Chain A
Amino acid sequence: MNRGAIPRLAAWLIAWRLPPDFSEPFLGDLEERFHEVAARQGRWAARRRCWREVLLACARRWPDPRPAAVRDRFDHGGTTMETLLADVRAGVRQLGKAPLFSFLVILTFALGIGTSSAIFSVVNPVLLERPPYPGADRITLLFERDREGRESHIGFATYKDLARNTSFASTAVMSFWQPVLEGEEPQVLTGQRVSSGFFRTLGVTPALGRDFTEEEDHDGAARVAIISHDLWQGAFAGDPAIIGRTVRLGNSPFQVIGVLPSSFESLLAPSARIWSPLRYELSQSWACRNCRHLRMIGRLKEGVSLAQANDEMQAISRRIVAANPTDYSGPGVLLTPLHEYLVRQARPLFLAVSGAVILLLLLACTNGANLLLGRAVDRSGEFAVRAALGAGRGSLVRRVTVESVVLALIGGVLGIGIAVLGVKLLVQLAPRNLPRIGHIHVDGEVLAFTVLVAVATGIAAGLAPALALARGDLAGLIRAGGRQVVRGEGSRLRRMFVTVGVSMALMLLIGAGLLLRSLDQLLAVQPGFDPRDLLTMELQATPDSDAAVLRYYGQVVEATRQIPGVQAAAVVNQLPLSGDFDSWGISFESRPVANPADAPDAFRYAVLPGYIQAMRIPLLAGRDLAPQDTHDSPPVALISATFAKRVLGDENPIGQRVKVGDPSGPWVTIVGVVGDIHQQSLDSEGEGQIYLSMYQTPWAYSRMMLVVRSPIASASLVPQVRQVLRQIDPGMPVSRVFGMNELLRTTVAPRRLALLVFEFFSVVALVLAGAGLYGVIAANVSQRTREIGIRAALGASSGRVMGLVLRQGMALAGMGLVLGLVGAEVLTRLLTSLLYGVSPTDPVTFLLVVAVLAAVALVACWAPARRALRVDPVRAMRE
């Protein structure tokens, strides 16, 4: 018979709570009953009943098995549980006796615990939890290594070669897909085109219907699609006959063959809701080795380590490159585990934020401890009486610790409220591309974390007064009526806590200061174009032929320019700072490279002439692209100044010829030089740009971004533009409507979030540190009333008395500042990747923050110093 009918925790509870003679028969009875109930009502009912019995039994008062004489000798009644409960009750009573003190301690704890729970609930799903796929730790991404050793997407031919390996159970490739779902209101869907093994590699099977087959992943095969649960419920209203239904995407019919489970999260393409087979063949021109636009994933076979797989893939890569030397700049495949791939962008942000929250929690702990110590000093008399009545050192220490834990737990409950609010705020402010943002909420794990933190905080904070009591001499405490012992030991500790508190506040403030300066610097960076009054939106052309697409965009821009108040309009295939990324190798005629793969990269823009003007990118030399540059005139281009300088040095770029991408393509003549812009982000450096007329690129883009420059508010401009578009083609979907300024703000979102967290924490830290300092100095002044009175009576001037108090306070603050500077020197390195244009040890920030904190310290000491001045010598001496 299995012994496991009783949960281990239950057995442990019983063994702990019941007298030793009873726990074994009790558990035995419990198990017998369990089987009885399980046979009649099922295991679930039996389990529930078992737990009820255990909890009821634990709550009962059990007789002490020891003989009465032994009992009376060793304690004052009750088992461990009962004394603990008595201590808790006493602790709660104590709270009522000193409501202001309790309120302050609880508030301090609530701030510390609440913020750390809020941060934990964000960090947990984003950084710590494994991706929600079975065997997720065996899923990796595979990239080619580019010249600089960075990850590069791969071409289909390379994938086919890499797929022939023995390390992976399955591999797949994916590319971005944005089909238009036809209907009354055409809708742009985000999706992925994937090779047939995609879902198998992720370990996901459709909840309805079936997965893709190998046959469906070939050119000319019937078009099929798998949709997300969310799309099924939304666009298809949960149609029960969805499997087999034909839907029109763009101009083609697709048969829906599967619906994914509602629990499926598309982490590799966060907003994807529809998937269709890639249907590539090696013979197709876009399946080439140079056509690096696919991301590859693989699922490692059971028992194959990442290192083993890596060795095999490097060997395969060497063979591929040896056979096709002109297609690669060197061998190398990079294997990145899925979890690592997903979290690495968010990691620096969260490490910084977590560091800040730990500082804040420690600060709350020391401040709580400080308040408790102060309270312990006030209660020395009570402790003395307890000790005189026979309370042991242990019971005094236990009582103090329990009180502190009770306070921390109440703080924790409040803290959960803070966490719920904080999480809402954080999710709103978080950068949109944060992985698993939908999974950020306060859940059971967060609650467990909070309770754990609260108990730890309570014990840690209670430890200080407890230690002061434990180390103190109880006999002395009784003799002195509780004046001496706790005070001496306690005030040493209190001074230490204040110093540490000031140092932690300093570290947080320096973090905030550095981030603030970075953001300032970053926002001062010129993006290279004028982002004001610039509206952008994504259009998707539906015509079939390239000529029709071009004609269509020509009409759109022409009509948009006619809207009153519109100063300029154009279209472009990729928009700066929007996350678009279309980078090509540019080979200069005058700078031949042996291997075309070694040509320098530049972002390549296919634009409608007029784009440069519309964006207000300065034309530095030569001429702009003109309407006359069409498919039957010689191809021309504009290049950015820094890119030209990097490749050509001081040579005049105008008139030089380049090839864009394909070495067999036509020569393109540079006719103008334009200012640099930032494509990827404001802090990216060394990007190059090349602009081509969209009439001269090898193919037309069906997806383009429309940019409209107009001082009209977007609220009234957008409907006008939409109306114009509807007149040209009512079936054309419009998406991603943004003001350019919004995009700019998005690119600084992670820093802004970090800054906000640091700012909030620093304010709390300032208040806590100031309050701690105030508490210690004020207590000190009231203890020294007599001494100050004597000094005043002996003729000390008010300046001297005040100096006495201030000097003491500022000495503590000064020590804290020095300590904090040393700490900041080390900790700000964590922030390095979030900083821009400011060094982690920026002297201006350090000095300013020290000055602010010193001012706060001065204010905190000022009030007690004033009180010292008002001491009446006569009364002080009489006491």
Chain B
Amino acid sequence: MLGEFEQLVLLAILREDDAFGASIQRSIAEQGGRDVSLGAVYTTLARLEQKGLIEGWVGEPTAERGGRRRRHYRVLSPGRRELEASLATLRRMARGLTPRLELP
């Protein structure tokens, strides 16, 4: 079962065409409305990678990064399955509660 923050990170990776640490952080801030630290994003990425849910690779250095390389991520199929399962569970649990929770 995925943690909530892991779900957010996975969703952010799926949203972005080209996902990396800063873009994931930005996406969670802009779409999710939550300001999270880059360190939290990175440790979660490391955990997801260790679990074999995502895959990371190193890109080319760019100037706006002070000549440093990016580490890109994409979601692997086990990750996609885990995420689908988590979201399905969440939806099932929330079903029928919409009036009481004032969900949008």
A residues lining the B interface (CB < 8 Å)? 1-3, 5-6, 18-19, 21-22, 24-33, 35, 52-53, 56-63
Flag if B37 contacts A56 (CB, 8 Å): yes
Chain A, residue nearest B22 (CB)? A29
What are the residues of chain B within 8 A of A26 when measuring CB–CB? 21, 38-39, 42
Query: At the interface, yes or no: B27 with Cβ under 8 Å from chain A?
Result: no
Flag if A25 contacts B39 (CB, 8 Å): no
Flag if A33 contacts B25 (CB, 8 Å): yes
B63 touches which one: A1, A6, A62, A63 (CB < 8 A)? A1
What are the residues of chain A within 8 A of B63 when measuring CB–CB? 1
Chain A, residue nearest B49 (CB)? A63
Query: At the interface, yes or no: B88 with Cβ under 8 Å from chain A?
Result: no
Query: At the interface, yes or no: B98 with Cβ under 8 Å from chain A?
Result: no
What are 13 A-B pairs with beta-carbon distances under 8 A? A18-B42, A22-B46, A25-B70, A25-B71, A30-B22, A52-B37, A56-B37, A57-B37, A57-B39, A58-B39, A62-B43, A62-B46, A63-B43
Within the assembled complex, what's the spacing in Å between the Cα atoms of A22 and B63? 19
> Which residues between 20 and 53 of chain B lie within 8 Å of chain A, taking CB atoms?
20-22, 25-26, 37-40, 42-43, 46-47, 50
Query: At the interface, yes or no: B68 with Cβ under 8 Å from chain A?
Result: yes
Query: At the interface, yes or no: B66 with Cβ under 8 Å from chain A?
Result: yes
A28 touches which one: B40, B46, B70 (CB < 8 A)? B70
B69 touches which one: A28, A30, A32, A57 (CB < 8 A)? A28
A53 touches which one: B37, B61, B62, B66 (CB < 8 A)? B37
What are the residues of chain A within 8 A of B62 when measuring CB–CB? 28
Q: 1/0 per residue B53-73: CB within 8 Å of A?
A: 000001001111111111100
Flag if B37 contacts A31 (CB, 8 Å): no
What are the residues of chain A within 8 A of B61 when measuring CB–CB? 28
Could you tell me the distance in whole angstroms from the C-beta of A188 to the nearest C-beta in chain B?
A: 62
Flag if A35 contacts B64 (CB, 8 Å): yes
Chain A, residue nearest B71 (CB)? A25
Within the assembled complex, what's the spacing in Å between the Cα atoms of A355 and B85? 73
Flag if A32 contacts B22 (CB, 8 Å): yes
Closest 6 CB pairs of A and B: A57-B39, A28-B68, A28-B65, A25-B71, A29-B22, A29-B21
Could you tell me the distance in whole angstroms from the C-beta of A18 to the nearest C-beta in chain B?
A: 8
Interface class of chain A by DSSP: helix
What are the residues of chain A within 8 A of B64 when measuring CB–CB? 1, 31-32, 35
Could you tell me the distance in whole angstroms from the C-beta of A10 to the nearest C-beta in chain B?
A: 12
In the complex, besides A24-B69, A30-B38, A33-B26, 10 extra interface pairs with C-beta distance below 8 angstroms are A2-B66, A25-B69, A26-B21, A27-B68, A28-B68, A28-B69, A29-B21, A31-B65, A33-B22, A57-B42
Could you tell me the distance in whole angstroms from the C-beta of B9 to the nearest C-beta in chain A?
A: 14
Within the assembled complex, what's the spacing in Å between the Cα atoms of A2 and B37? 24
B residues lining the A interface (CB < 8 Å)? 20-22, 25-26, 37-40, 42-43, 46-47, 50, 58, 61-71
B65 touches which one: A22, A32, A61 (CB < 8 A)? A32
What are the residues of chain B within 8 A of A62 when measuring CB–CB? 43, 46
What are the residues of chain B within 8 A of A30 when measuring CB–CB? 22, 38
What are the residues of chain B within 8 A of A18 when measuring CB–CB? 42
Contacts A1-B63, A33-B25, A57-B38 given; does A63 touch B46 at CB 8 Å: yes
Within the assembled complex, what's the spacing in Å between the Cα atoms of A438 and B101? 65
What are the residues of chain A within 8 A of B21 when measuring CB–CB? 25-26, 29
Within the assembled complex, what's the spacing in Å between the Cα atoms of A41 and B25? 18
Give the residue among A1, A2, A32 with the most B Cβ atoms within 10 A.
A32
Flag if B39 contacts A1 (CB, 8 Å): no
What are the residues of chain B within 8 A of A58 when measuring CB–CB? 39
Flag if B68 contacts A25 (CB, 8 Å): yes
Chain B, residue nearest A32 (CB)? B22
Flag if B20 contacts A56 (CB, 8 Å): no
Chain B, residue nearest A60 (CB)? B39
Give the residue among B20, B25, B64 with the most A Cβ atoms within 10 A.
B64
Within the assembled complex, what's the spacing in Å between the Cα atoms of A35 and B37? 17
Flag if A56 contacts B66 (CB, 8 Å): no
Flag if B68 contacts A53 (CB, 8 Å): no
Chain B, residue nearest A53 (CB)? B38
Within the assembled complex, what's the spacing in Å between the Cα atoms of A21 and B21? 13
A29 touches which one: B38, B40, B50 (CB < 8 A)? B38
What are the residues of chain A within 8 A of B47 when measuring CB–CB? 63
Within the assembled complex, what's the spacing in Å between the Cα atoms of A53 and B37? 6
Within the assembled complex, what's the spacing in Å between the Cα atoms of A731 and B66? 72
Chain B, residue nearest A26 (CB)? B42
Could you tell me the distance in whole angstroms from the C-beta of A268 to the nearest C-beta in chain B?
A: 49
Flag if A5 contacts B68 (CB, 8 Å): no
Chain B, residue nearest A27 (CB)? B68
A6 touches which one: B20, B26, B46, B66 (CB < 8 A)? B66
Within the assembled complex, what's the spacing in Å between the Cα atoms of A56 and B50? 22
Within the assembled complex, what's the spacing in Å between the Cα atoms of A587 and B66? 79
Give the residue among B20, B65, B71 with the most A Cβ atoms within 10 A.
B65
Within the assembled complex, what's the spacing in Å between the Cα atoms of A61 and B42? 11
Within the assembled complex, what's the spacing in Å between the Cα atoms of A22 and B42? 8
Within the assembled complex, what's the spacing in Å between the Cα atoms of A322 and B26? 82
A33 touches which one: B38, B43, B46 (CB < 8 A)? B38
Could you tell me the distance in whole angstroms from the C-beta of A651 to the nearest C-beta in chain B?
A: 88
Within the assembled complex, what's the spacing in Å between the Cα atoms of A1 and B46? 29
Flag if B66 contacts A5 (CB, 8 Å): yes
A3 touches which one: B39, B40, B66 (CB < 8 A)? B66
Chain B, residue nearest A35 (CB)? B64
Could you tell me the distance in whole angstroms from the C-beta of B90 to the nearest C-beta in chain A?
A: 26
What are the residues of chain B within 8 A of A6 when measuring CB–CB? 66
What are the residues of chain B within 8 A of A33 when measuring CB–CB? 22, 25-26, 38
Within the assembled complex, what's the spacing in Å between the Cα atoms of A722 and B52? 94
Chain A, residue nearest B24 (CB)? A29
What are the residues of chain B within 8 A of A22 when measuring CB–CB? 42, 46, 71
Contacts A22-B71, A62-B46 given; does A28 touch B66 at CB 8 Å: yes
A61 touches which one: B22, B43, B50, B66 (CB < 8 A)? B43
Could you tell me the distance in whole angstroms from the C-beta of A90 to the nearest C-beta in chain B?
A: 25
What are the residues of chain B within 8 A of A60 when measuring CB–CB? 39-40, 43
What are the residues of chain A within 8 A of B26 when measuring CB–CB? 33
Within the assembled complex, what's the spacing in Å between the Cα atoms of A24 and B42? 12
What are the residues of chain A within 8 A of B20 when measuring CB–CB? 25, 29
Could you tell me the distance in whole angstroms from the C-beta of A664 to the nearest C-beta in chain B?
A: 79
Within the assembled complex, what's the spacing in Å between the Cα atoms of A28 and B63? 10
What are the residues of chain A within 8 A of B70 when measuring CB–CB? 25, 28-29
Flag if A53 contacts B67 (CB, 8 Å): no
Within the assembled complex, what's the spacing in Å between the Cα atoms of A62 and B61? 24
Within the assembled complex, what's the spacing in Å between the Cα atoms of A27 and B43? 14
Could you tell me the distance in whole angstroms from the C-beta of A23 to the nearest C-beta in chain B?
A: 9
Could you tell me the distance in whole angstroms from the C-beta of A184 to the nearest C-beta in chain B?
A: 62
Chain A, residue nearest B69 (CB)? A24
